[in-house]
Amino acid sequence: MGVETFMGARVADFDPPVRGDAITADRYYSAAWMQREWDRLWGRIWHLGGVVSALEETGDYVVHNFMRESVMMIRQADGSVKAFYNACKHRGNRLVWSEMGGADVITCSYHGWQWAPDGELVHVQDAEDFPGGNPCGKVRLKELRCETWGGFIWYSMDPDIAPLVEWLAPLPGQLIGYGMEAMVRVLHVSCDVPCNWKIIRDNFNESYHLPTLHPELATFIDDDYTDTSFEMYPSGHNRMVQKGCQPSGRLDLPDVLEAPLDDLLGAWELDPIAFHGRAREARLALQRQKRALGPARGFKHHDSMTDSQLTDYYHYTLWPNVTITMSPDGFQILRSEPHPTDPERCIFEHWYMMPPVPGRSDVITPVGMVPFAPAEKDTVVYGTRSLGYVADQDMSIAVGQQQGLHSHGYDGAHLSGQEKRIQRFHELLDDFLKA
Ligand code: FES
Ligand SMILES: [Fe+2]
């Protein structure tokens, strides 16, 4: 089993130069910026549309509403998934309003035109009354590029975009061991948050804020940037790897292990007391123990994971707006999308995916215990309920930052070296909006 190596803060092959473009405030609140992003960015990427497991039978669909666009992804008779714009070809009525469902045919509520799962028009009222003859079999819903990877359905409005696995590179190869396809989405929260979508991107593109905003993580995630691996890929995606099950190198090592590291060890039959004064040895001991005990406990996914993946946090920010945080026994999707009309709001979604383990009933997630079962989408009014403990901390700052960026006192970001991914993100965005 391979062991990931940590090569310091930067990996030379994946540390591209940046130009130092100014990160101006207007990009976070200007309607003109928002329009340029719609015109030049959102039509040229792969969008994460939904989970494949939601589509059990032919005709089952999920819908992704993005700004003012709406896309249906429908299970086909041959098992594949196709995506169509959610607009009737007759006079443009939106066809489907629920975000999940299933039907042998989709019937438009305006004049009753019916569409088969493969997008073909199969029934119209008064078919003989059309000048060119019966349109059935001739008219089709407008189709988009659609592919699956990682248990997710992805679509693109760009007919010429690179194939999905190429566009995602190098993630598919790096993440193959986790068995993502088998995982179950046990948490799906969505919230309209009063900040621009890029503020949330910036936050996930740096770990500089961890000691101040999430100090409680330091007892079991090593947030010392000098012991963290950062990689920025030609595709625009990037990766940060932090050692888990190990206290932060920023801290003086405690004599007594602090929570939750004691519980993490106990859960794998290691005596936390034996690690008092030796906290930095816990990580490797846990890797060995998970390797030894995992199969008998039904943790099948451990077999294909590296030793490092058994303890560490592999945090990916995909260009431009999806974060995937792989932890040893589950992963989070953290996505921010622009609000349909207001540049100072965004739609934040938090999904938590967990592998099936025999006997699993309730599981711990970022919002607490939930049943181990596919989650319904839970739309939260901002500030009324949790979006996840750590995410709540991030959002509280994001909302305040949105206000601060309007000030005459802000004249562009002053970034540390470990925040370089933010600089690169904005330069990629600048390039897209100019192209
Ligand atoms: S707009 Fe759909 S049938 Fe008329
Ligand atoms: Fe954070």
Domain positions in the chain: 12-42+182-434, 46-160
Q: What is the pLDDT of residues 381-405, one digit of tens each?
A: 999 999 999 999 999 999 999 999 9
Per-residue pLDDT tens over the stretch 247-283: 999 988 766 788 899 999 999 999 999 998 899 899 9
98, amino acid identity: S
pLDDT classification of 8: cutoffs 50, 70, 90: very low
Q: What tens digit of pLDDT does each residue of 12-62 get?
A: 789 999 999 999 999 999 999 999 999 999 999 999 999 999 999 999 999
Ligand 1: nearest atom to the Cα of 111: 3
**What percent of the chain has pLDDT above 90?**
92
Read off the tokens for 88.
């009737």
Average pLDDT, the chain: 95
Strands 152-156 and 143-149: antiparallel
Contact indicator for 331, 353 with CB cutoff of 8 Å: yes
CATH number of 46-160: 2.102.10.10
Pick the CATH number of 12-42+182-434 from 1.10.287, 3.30.160, 1.25.40, 3.90.380: 3.90.380
pLDDT at 211 over 70: yes
What spacing in Å lies between the alpha carbon of 309 and ligand 1's midpoint? 51
Q: What is the C-alpha to C-alpha distance for residues 259 and 32, in angstroms, rounded to an integer?
A: 48
Task: Compute the distance between CA of residue 65 and CA of residue 360 in angstroms, rounded to an integer.
Answer: 33
The CB of 130 under 6 Å from ligand 1? The reply is no
C-beta 94 within 6 A of ligand 1: no
Distance separating alpha carbons of residues 102 and 84, to the nearest angstrom: 15
Q: How far apart are the CA of 398 and the centre of ligand 2, in A? A: 10
**By the 8 A CB rule, do 276 and 256 touch?**
yes
Is the beta carbon of 114 within 6 A of some atom in ligand 1? no
Q: What is the pLDDT of residues 219-229, one digit of tens each?
A: 999 999 999 99
pLDDT of the residue at 435: 82
- 293 or 253: which carries more pLDDT confidence? 293
Which residue, among 206, 211, 249, has the nearest Cα to 227 in the 3D structure? 249
Supply the pLDDT for residue 11: 65
Q: Using a 6 Å cutoff on CB, does residue 110 contact ligand 1?
A: yes
Ligand 1 atom closest to residue 88's alpha carbon, by position in its atom list: 2
**pLDDT greater than 80 at residue 176:** yes
Distances (CA, A) of 122 to 68, 127, 134, 343: 27, 11, 10, 40
pLDDT, tens digit (0-9, with 9 covering 90-100), for 65-107? 999 999 999 999 999 999 999 999 999 999 999 999 999 999 9
Residue 184 pLDDT > 90: yes
- Residue 4 is predicted with a pLDDT of 45
Mutate to test the pocket of ligand 1, among 107, 113, 115 (most ligand atoms within 8 A of CB): 113
Give the number of whichever ligand sits closest to the CA of residue 115.
Answer: 1
Residue 108: CB within 6 Å of ligand 1? yes
Backbone angle region of 421, left / alpha / beta, with phi > 0 → left and psi within -120 to 50 → alpha: alpha
pLDDT one-digit tens code per residue, 347-357: 999 999 999 99
pLDDT of residue 252: 82
Summarize the confidence of residues 5-9 as an average pLDDT: 46
Helix, strand, or coil here: 163?
coil
pLDDT score for 7: 42
Indicate the pairing of strand 143-149 with strand 121-123: unpaired
pLDDT in the model for residue 9: 52
Alpha-carbon dihedral angle through residues 297, 303, 308, 309, given to the nearest 10 degrees: -80
Q: Is 389 in the pocket of ligand 1 (CB under 6 A)?
A: no
CB 294 within 8 A of CB 313: no
Flag whether pLDDT at 6 surpasses 50. Answer: no
Those residues with Cβ within 8 angstroms of residue 61's Cβ, 6 or more apart along the chain or in another chain = 55, 72, 73, 74, 75, 96, 100, 101, 102, 103, 106, 117
Give the C-alpha separation, 328 to 287, whole Å: 10
| Ligand 1 pocket, residue 45 CB under 6 Å | no
Rounded Cα–Cα distance for residues 229 and 188 (Å): 29
Query: Average pLDDT for residues 150-171, to the nearest whole number?
Result: 98
> Is residue 157 predicted with pLDDT exceeding 90?
yes
Do you find a cis peptide bond into 320, omega within 30 degrees of 0? yes
